[in-house]
Amino acid sequence: MVLELVIASGKGGVGKSTLSSTLALYLAKQGYNVIAVDADADAPNLHLIYGIDRWEIEEDYREAWIAEIDYDKCTMCGICAEICSYKAIKLIDNRYVINTIICEGCLTCSLACPKKAIRRRQIASGKIRIAKTPYGFPLVSAKLNVGRPNSGKLVTEVKNRAKELAREDTIIVIDSAAGIGCQVISSLAGAHAAILVAEPTPASFSDLKRVHMVTKHFLLPTGLVINKYDLNPHYTRKILEYAKQEHMDVLGIIPYDDNVPKAMAKMKPLVELYPQSPASIALLRIVSKVEERVVKGWSEWFREYKPRKPVPYKPIILKPPNIGKG
Amino acid sequence: MKIKISVTGGKGGTGKSTIAVNLAVSLLRYRDVVLADLDVEAPNDHILLGIRLTNEQPVKIMLPFIEYPKCIRCGVCAKVCDTGAIIITREKLPFIIPRLCSGCRACYFACPVSAIVEGQRIIGYTYHSKANTIHGSLDLITGVLREGEEHTPPVVLAARERAINIAKDVLLVDTSAGTANHVAIALEDSKLALAVTEPTPLGLHDLEMILELTERLGIETWVIVNRWGIEDTTRLEEVVRKYNSSIIVQIPYSREIIDSYIKGKPLVEVHPDHEISKIFYRLAKTISEVI
Amino acid sequence: MPKIAIASNSKGGLEDVVASRFGRAPTFTIIELDDKGNIINVKVIENPGVNAPGGAGVKAVQALINEGVDIAVGPSFGPNAKAILDEMNIKAITIPAGTKISEAIEYVKREIGLA
């Protein structure tokens, strides 16, 4: 069975990429068939950590549309500007202009235009890149073109490409974006397990709870890693208590370590460059636990840590007056 | 005459929110300031200010409801739905899946018999809170996306509009990290963007992306280098020059900033005489003179 | 006369196994039973959700709705797929990935009281 593990955090900069790059590297060295996926399409970083400077495959992802106004037909009625949900259409120098950076391509304006003066054009919303890491396993990386929307679709496509390369026993390690929006949701959809990373600060704790809520919507068994734990032992304890209450598998804690940014600056994984560094030792302990508990012991781990009480997503709906069953 | 300044930066965790909050408090000494936290997926400014969110208002997007007696079962609504939120049942009737609906209204306009009525769905909230600082009261507008919702832009827009409505002088916007279109929406119409980066290859890579975005949006950008001192900055300076920008401030790595971050009070309040606090005040003065 | 759709791992059919994913299963094996639980028809359809950029579960369920399915079988169901199946009164049954389809049918028959 192909095993999909997603690393997420809610808050940016807490160590997702450090953990996912180390996990993929470790599993590969242990002899597993591994594919690393960089699903942080806004700001992909895994290729920098692995020291990849050239892509073997680089393709445009073209599943995006933007709207274009045909000025020969436009009668300046302004309906498009009024109904655009993103306020992407503005009156500039006596013409209605669509801001192509903000336009989401929903094409509602083209449907609403009484003169059918708006058409759609397909554009590249981003790129899918694939390269072999110096350690023998492939990295599939997403890059969203600046300003584009719907990175969720790009993330899904990148995961599909990884699955095409996968064998029956492959482990796919997915480095997700920060946040909890469509990019992260697309990363989590269809995954088997989530490993959440937090640092001991109020902001990171708050974001951890939010992304954890989303993993509960998806009924994912969830592990926890606390990074830079020694910066604030009090908050580390608070987060560990939360993890215990929520029945998350605490996979380990990592001390603050100056060598982490140093290794990133040298474009090499920390555990390769400074294997005796405190963070390396902690990371290796964590990834070996992941191997034991999540990979080798999958069925038991899944049964133990899948959410006990389902917390399904429930939309908050306001019905229009005078309508029957919606 | 309202002026908008945005604090942004491609890479997460570079210190954007810490800088936005400290800058807002410093600016309050010279100008009237409203701070808008448009990082709606992971909003943190209220935590850094140590205040609770108040004055909740829901952010609603349109949710279609089918008037089944009028429906002629043509299936056009399902066809035009960009997000696959409409499925067709065995009886050929359309059925809406609320979570997938982005509220774009394409179905509403496409229906040939006007059988679609507009309801609404709440996907998030905006808040208006006040922080008591040494320079007076700071208004904070925060946008929060509801967990499980995919659609960030409408919440960013709602929070942005709420902030614009109450701002009298300077509107300081804290965008989220990254360069996706909800960041572009947060940045729009800024007179000045402050791009926060750190001097590492990852920071540099993401800085280039945010500079490309602000260039395309036509926004003058200054670069703030945070955690300066951990790396050599030659390549960083090259990139900054390439985009006709300049490094306006370098903030050295400091333990006190981390502690203030954890304690929930901005550094400029807890240690106003700290060298970094002085950097913020100087920056605030420069900005207030330039705009 | 229940119609059962089982997410299948490759080409589908009674000899195939339950897929590891519902929304992105390559095929669905659709089995019709009579009132006594005998198999009267087996059909395999391709899953339109298999390569979809998003909302795969939704597309998969749409295909099952079009086939008039009463029961859907998969190793697990994503939140979208589950929500629609519930609304459409299609019973969702989870059976572990790798189970032979012929065995899965026996399990379903026990679940619905036809064994």
A82 contacts on B by Cβ (under 8 Å): none
Facing A101 at nearest CB: one of B10, B153, B184: B184
If phi > 0 it is left, if psi is from -120 to 50 it is alpha, else beta; for residue B227 that is left
**Regions of chain C with pLDDT less than 50:** none
CB contact under 8 A, A219 and C76: yes
CB contact under 8 A, B88 and C80: no
Q: What pLDDT sits at residue C115?
A: 66
pLDDT(B4) > 90: yes
Q: What are the tens digits of pLDDT across the range A223-261?
A: 999 999 999 999 999 999 999 999 999 999 999 998 988
Question: Class of the C3-110 domain?
Answer: alpha beta
Containing C81, the helix (H) or strand (E) segment is: helix C79-87
Q: What are the tens digits of pLDDT across the range C58-75?
A: 889 999 999 999 999 998
Percent of chain A with pLDDT over 70: 99
Q: Which two tokens stand for residue C61?
A: 């369920």
B99 contacts on A by Cβ (under 8 Å): 313, 315
ipTM of the complex: 0.92
pTM here?
A: 0.91
**CATH number for the A3-61+126-305 domain, one of 3.40.50.1110, 3.40.50.300, 3.40.50.150, 3.30.70.3040?**
3.40.50.300
Q: Mean pLDDT throughout B182-202?
A: 92
Q: Mean pLDDT throughout A159-182?
A: 92
Q: What are the tens digits of pLDDT across the range A89-106?
A: 999 999 999 998 888 888
The residue type found at B24 is: A
CA distance B153 to B93: 30
pLDDT(A326) > 50: no
Q: What pLDDT sits at residue B24?
A: 97
Search chain B and give the residue with CA nearest A103: B181
C74 contacts on A by Cβ (under 8 Å): none
Per-domain residue ranges for chain C?
3-110
CB contact under 8 A, C58 and B97: yes
Q: What pLDDT sits at residue B161?
A: 96
Mean residue pLDDT of chain A comes to 92
CA distance C62 to C59: 5
Q: Mean pLDDT throughout A152-173?
A: 90
Q: What are the tens digits of pLDDT across the range A271-296?
A: 999 999 999 999 999 999 999 999 99
CB contact under 8 A, B95 and C88: yes
Among the listed residues A223, A307, A301, the one whose alpha carbon sits nearest the alpha carbon of residue A23: A223
CA distance B258 to B279: 16
Search chain C and give the residue with CA nearest B86: C58
Q: What pLDDT sits at residue B230?
A: 67
A257 contacts on B by Cβ (under 8 Å): none
Facing A160 at nearest CB: one of C20, C51, C97: C51
CB contact under 8 A, A183 and B122: no
C97 contacts on A by Cβ (under 8 Å): 1
B117 contacts on A by Cβ (under 8 Å): 320, 323
Query: Do B126 and A326 form a contact (C-beta atoms < 8 A)?
Result: no
CB contact under 8 A, C20 and A2: yes
CA distance B38 to B43: 7
Mean residue pLDDT of chain B comes to 92
Search chain C and give the residue with CA nearest A326: C87
CA distance B202 to A178: 15
Search chain B and give the residue with CA nearest A87: B157
Q: Which residue has the higher pLDDT, B11 or A128?
A: A128
If phi > 0 it is left, if psi is from -120 to 50 it is alpha, else beta; for residue A252 that is left
Q: What are the tens digits of pLDDT across the range A2-31?
A: 899 999 999 999 999 999 999 999 999 999
Tell me which residues of chain B, numbers 54 to 83, contact chain C at a CB-CB cutoff of 8 Å. Answer: 83
Tell me which residues of chain B, numbers 233 to 252, contact chain C at a CB-CB cutoff of 8 Å. Answer: none
Percent of chain B with pLDDT over 70: 99
Query: Do B170 and B27 form a contact (C-beta atoms < 8 A)?
Result: yes
Q: Which residue has the higher pLDDT, B58 or B9?
A: B58
Q: Which residue has the higher pLDDT, B83 or A203?
A: A203
Instruction: Note whether A157 contacts C: Cβ–Cβ < 8 A.
Output: yes
Q: What pLDDT sits at residue B38?
A: 98
CB contact under 8 A, C98 and A1: yes
Task: Give the contacts of B269 (CB within 8 A, at least 6 positions apart).
Answer: B25, B133, B134
CB contact under 8 A, A190 and C20: no
Search chain C and give the residue with CA nearest A311: C79
pLDDT(A133) > 90: yes
Subunits with 3+ Cβ pairs within 8 Å of C are: A, B
Assign 3-state DSSP to chain B and report helix, strand, coil percentages, each to 5: 35, 30, 35
C84-102 as b/e: b if 16+ CB within 10 A: bbeebebbbbebebebebe
| Best B77, B87, B92 residue to mutate vs chain C (most C CBs within 10 Å) | B87
Q: What pLDDT sits at residue C53?
A: 61
CB contact under 8 A, B262 and A202: yes
| Best C20, C85, C86 residue to mutate vs chain A (most A CBs within 10 Å) | C20
Question: Class of the A64-123 domain?
Answer: alpha beta
Q: Which residue has the higher pLDDT, A177 or C80?
A: A177
Q: What are the tens digits of pLDDT across the range A76-87?
A: 999 999 999 888
Q: Which two tokens stand for residue B217?
A: 């949006």
Fold of B3-57+124-290: Rossmann fold (3.40.50)
Residue intervals of chain B classified under CATH 3.40.50.300 are: 3-57+124-290
Residue intervals of chain A classified under CATH 3.40.50.300 are: 3-61+126-305
φ, ψ dihedrals at C72, nearest 5°: -115, 135
A149 contacts on B by Cβ (under 8 Å): 153, 180-182
φ, ψ dihedrals at B123, nearest 5°: -110, 0
Fold of B68-114: Alpha-Beta Plaits (3.30.70)
CB count, 10 Å around CB of B132?
12
Q: What are the tens digits of pLDDT across the range B147-159?
A: 999 899 999 999 9
Search chain B and give the residue with CA nearest A112: B109
CB contact under 8 A, A218 and C54: no
